[in-house]
Chains A and B, each alone.
Chain A
């Protein structure tokens, strides 16, 4: 992507290209599959010949069987559903608020100057650290979990939306003004689409954080969800299942990243080439 160098926005608002590289999306290339097949085969052999101890490092076939049993027995589906719901709802709420506030802060200097110190101080805190406080505020039920996930999703979306508005090309605004654009037209036809690529970078980061937060709160304070199943597997010392649940988590992560990438390519084809 050849784009003119613009002033680098503050905070962690990463330019799209580097963000893509940092995220290292899974690509279903022959190489990807080959490496994984090779690793799993080697692992299987090493366990079978007794080099690796099967108790802590069970053979992939055993993990596969455990995964199959989990799915077969119907135990997995409700947990998976609960987790996906939390990611979606938390991401939806957090990202929506982030976009709204980001647009406001991006267009209003005074507002940005007022809120910037708050964001700067709160953003570096791992959002999971707020979870106990959120339980105090929202109770032990679903609302505190939703709040924790939304809080994590909120910050990247806010920062990237703001940076997107700030990095609008002034020439585009001037051309629109020269054509007599009203404020509403400037917003709808220039500001919104112009900052969309950065918002989508925000969405990618936010979805990642929402996923992390969901697994986190489920491990700490939930009886449903993949995170709680993972924790339960360890507590009951079912190591096969522990690996199986990790595989499920990996699958969710890959699916989520792929989905966000597809959405981005669909909404902003002029930016997300690959």
Chain B
């Protein structure tokens, strides 16, 4: 399915960000423009400290850019980036049960307990945590906790998922598993995804498009379409995938 036909969802225009501290200014982001279409899966890759997380935080509304603007368009525009944030670590509230963690966004909206718990349960089933609904997060593995964060974003109907290296702390095997699960979830209800990672293989596995950023100050140096067929099978498409991975590496290389 081509995503080119879909309308624009997020438009970031000439975003710049400079952190000011006692020791001076650090330019984290320099004149980055990006467009996400509805239902598109976009990955941002780049070396550590290239400002990719800052970019995501700006889209999430957690950081006001020192330059430029973010616009949301289309039928779900009013939602903005509400409830869609998924982080790498500490993404669960240790004082809430697994179920209440997932239902958190619904709770804040004032949904009655019975209703929100039922909704949370449907998502707990989908991510395979139904048997752990009443556990506390510290009783679960890191991978399971990561599923809680994803379920929390999904259950609130957040139209835009903002994922900041969500699988960065997982072992290779669990990571592969979670990537497949995320793709399955995404395939079934097609939210727009902005996914930050430093793992180029991961980006090629997941994305419709990969945005490549340069080291600090972060600039967009390439916008690589990933035309591999879905559902993805990187063994079948090994050659094409490797070509794309090499291409992205070469985009990164001159700056390194």
Chain A contact residues, CB within 8 Å of chain B: 4, 169, 171-172, 174-182, 185, 189-190, 193-194, 196, 268-271
CB distance from A262 to the nearest CB of B (A): 18
Give residues 102-143 of B contacting A (CB, 8 Å): 104-105, 107-109, 136-138
> In the complex, what residues of A have CB within 8 A of residue B93's CB?
172, 175, 189-190, 193-194
A180 contacts which of B96, B108, B137, B138 (Cβ < 8 Å)?
Answer: B108
**Is B230 in contact with chain A by the CB < 8 A criterion?**
no
Binds A, one of B76-84, B207-215, B216-224: B76-84
Query: Does B146 have its Cβ within 8 Å of any Cβ on chain A?
Result: no
Q: What residues on B are CB-neighbors of A179 within 8 Å?
A: 82-83, 104-105, 108, 156
Question: B89 and A171: CB pair below 8 A?
Answer: yes
Chain B, interface residues (CB within 8 Å), range? 20 to 34
Q: Is B8 an interface residue (CB 8 A)?
A: no
Residue of B nearest to A271 (CB): B94
User: A2 CB to closest chain B CB, in angstroms?
Assistant: 9
A171-B90, A178-B61, A270-B136 known, 8 other contacts, Cβ within 8 Å: A169-B90, A172-B90, A176-B108, A177-B62, A179-B104, A180-B82, A189-B108, A193-B93
Residues of A within 8 A of B94 (CB): 270-271
**Pair B137/A270 contact, Cβ less than 8 Å:** yes
What residues of A have a CB within 8 angstroms of the CB of B96 in the complex? 193
Q: Which of B83, B96, B108 has the most CB of A within 10 A?
A: B108
Closest A residue to B81 by CB, please name it: A178
At the interface, yes or no: B196 with Cβ under 8 Å from chain A? no
Q: Is residue B68 contacting chain A, with contact meaning CB distance below 8 A?
A: no
Task: Identify the closest chain A residue to B88 (Cβ).
Answer: A171
What chain B residues lie within 8 Å of A271 (beta carbons)?
A: 94
- In the complex, whether B193 has a CB less than 8 A from a CB of chain A is no
Question: Can you list the 9 inter-chain pairs with the closest CB atoms, starting with the nearest?
Answer: A193-B95, A178-B85, A270-B94, A171-B90, A179-B105, A179-B83, A270-B136, A270-B138, A169-B90
Query: In the bound complex, do residue A178 and residue B62 qualify as a contact, i.e. CB atoms below 8 Å apart?
Result: yes
B contact patch SS: loop
The contact of B91 among A175, A190, A194, by CB within 8 Å, is A175
Residues of B within 8 A of A169 (CB): 90
Q: Can you name the residue of chain A whose Cβ is closest to the Cβ of B149?
A: A175
Q: Return 26 A-B CB contacts under 8 Å, by A number.
A: A4-B89, A169-B90, A171-B89, A171-B90, A171-B91, A172-B90, A174-B85, A175-B85, A175-B87, A178-B85, A179-B82, A179-B83, A179-B156, A182-B108, A185-B108, A189-B107, A189-B108, A193-B93, A194-B95, A196-B95, A268-B95, A269-B136, A270-B94, A270-B95, A270-B137, A271-B94
B15 CB-CB contact with A under 8 Å = no
Chain B interface (Cβ within 8 Å of chain A)? Answer: 60-62, 81-85, 87, 89-91, 93-96, 104-105, 107-109, 136-138, 156
A189 to B104, CA, bound (A): 9
Q: How far is the CB of B197 from chain A (nearest CB, A)?
A: 18
In the bound assembly, the distance between CA atoms of A271 and B90 in angstroms comes to 15
With a CB–CB cut-off of 8 A, which chain B residues contact A194?
93, 95
| A170 nearest in chain B by CB position | B90
Complex: A184 Cα to B11 Cα, angstroms: 32
Q: Which residue of B lies closest to A190 (CB)?
A: B93
Contacts of A268 in B (CB 8 A): 95
Q: How far is the CA of A271 from the CA of B91 in the complex (A)?
A: 17
User: Known contacts A179-B156, A270-B136; is A171 also within 8 Å of B87 by CB?
Assistant: yes
- Residues in A with CB closer than 8 Å to B105 are 179-180
Distance (whole angstroms) from the CB of B93 to the closest CB of chain A = 6
